[in-house]
Amino acid sequence: MQLGPAAVQVIHAGREDLTREHWAISISTFAREPSEERVIPVNGVERIIWEMDTHHPNNRFCNLGKFRIVHFVVRQFFGAIKMHVLDVGEMAQLFVKAFKLVAIFATACVVLEVIFPAYRYSFASYIRGARNWIIRIGCGTLIWHFYALGLKWLGVKPLVTINFGALLHSSNPIANTGFAVLSGVLVAIAGDFFYYWMHRAQHAVPFLWRLHATHHSIRELTAWNCNHHISEPFVYAAFVALPLALIHFESGVVPVAAMALITFQAHLSHSSTRFNLGPLRYLIGDNKFHRIHHSTEFHHRHKNYGFFTTVWDTIFRTAYWPKTNEWPEVGMRNQPEPLTVRDFIMFPFDQRRWRKAKAGSGTQGIKTGGLNAVERDGPIHSDRSSAI
């Protein structure tokens, strides 16, 4: 209801050692119901929500009112905690599990980078990558939590059920393990169909490209330094996870196996190592195949969109098979890699970066004076100290 003028009364909490912030405050309102009172919380989540809803000059949150979207999002965040929609403890556990998975597979690939190096990048790039992964996983945990709640609220249920139970109940444990891995590969390949088309859209739609370009700007590409922008889980949820939510896998071990394979392959495909999958590359993508997608060379444009498998690139004729010693420079010629936390988070929204940038792959420049960015800027120079 519409509130009228308010009289503020400060009530001492009964202790002499309390500071001003520890006092309880109540507002008696002269409205339709004069006797109605709103008790202002002393601290905690309810206090933050109250401060965001008021415009007192001393209110530390009052300036957020100028930014309506930010105000709304932040208020809903704290409101979710208050309503127990946001289980912070559960999310913390999910964050730890996700980061452990990333740390294990990324570090395993770093070992390959040390033993069989392709480029030797700076140690700072690994630290930067680990830092960005922590930020990325933290934001991703929050996004995926609300995604799961949204599916439940909308009542989204699988339309198709695939039962792997018959394959995974063999008396031979080796056969069970083999079938679980094989089933996981099949699930990953099926899911990669949706990723393939989402990825193509990211390189064609200007807004999506801005978000995705954070990933393509990386010039010191390694198993650790390969993160995406914090906003990309929204895109994955809409174009990949939602279609897959309509498919139910009867055996719980298969999605777990698929996720483990996808996570390992994600770090391997960005690793700077001479180790690769060889002929298996015609089914499963590896670092040599995916590096072409990150290449700055003009003839590598619009190639190798697949994430886990190369099947969809082959079918839709976007596959480029790298030659034996082909290991191109990576990054974006007109966009430097973000080095600070602020640059990493604000990369898609920094107008200084995007005055000349357009949609496209990392090698698709802008026509300027008759020359595109590739022709105009020439080759970029990475900080590599050795190459294959």
pLDDT of residue 82: 52
Q: Which uninterrupted H or E stretch holds 247?
A: strand 247-249
The pLDDT tens digits along the chain (388 residues) read 433 333 333 333 333 443 444 333 333 333 334 444 445 554 455 555 555 555 555 555 555 444 455 555 555 555 555 555 566 777 888 899 999 999 999 999 999 999 999 988 999 999 999 999 999 999 999 999 888 888 888 888 888 887 766 666 667 777 777 777 777 788 889 889 999 999 999 999 999 999 999 999 999 999 999 999 999 999 999 999 999 888 877 665 666 777 888 889 999 999 999 999 999 999 999 999 999 999 999 999 999 999 999 999 999 999 999 998 899 999 998 888 999 999 999 999 988 777 655 444 444 433 333 333 333 233 344 444 334 4
Instruction: Give the count of beta carbons closer than 10 Å to the beta carbon of residue 23.
Output: 14
pLDDT of residue 174: 76
Q: How far apart are CA 149 and CA 62, in angstroms?
A: 30
pLDDT of residue 119: 87
pLDDT of residue 350: 86
Q: Across-strand partners of 6?
A: 29
pLDDT of residue 371: 31
pLDDT of residue 33: 42
Counting every residue written for the chain, the total comes to 388
Q: How far apart are CA 300 and CA 292, in angstroms?
A: 6
pLDDT of residue 239: 94
- On the 0-12 / 13-18 / 19+ scale of CB atoms within 10 A, 314 is middle
Tell me the CA distances in angstroms from 325 to 320, 321, 322, one per residue in order. 14, 12, 8
Q: Which uninterrupted H or E stretch holds 208?
A: helix 206-216
Q: 365, 376 in Cβ contact below 8 A?
A: yes
Q: How far apart are CA 284 and CA 117, in angstroms?
A: 21
Q: 293, 304 in Cβ contact below 8 A?
A: yes
User: In the 8-state DSSP scheme, what is residue 10?
Assistant: E
Whole-structure pTM value: 0.71
pLDDT of residue 17: 42
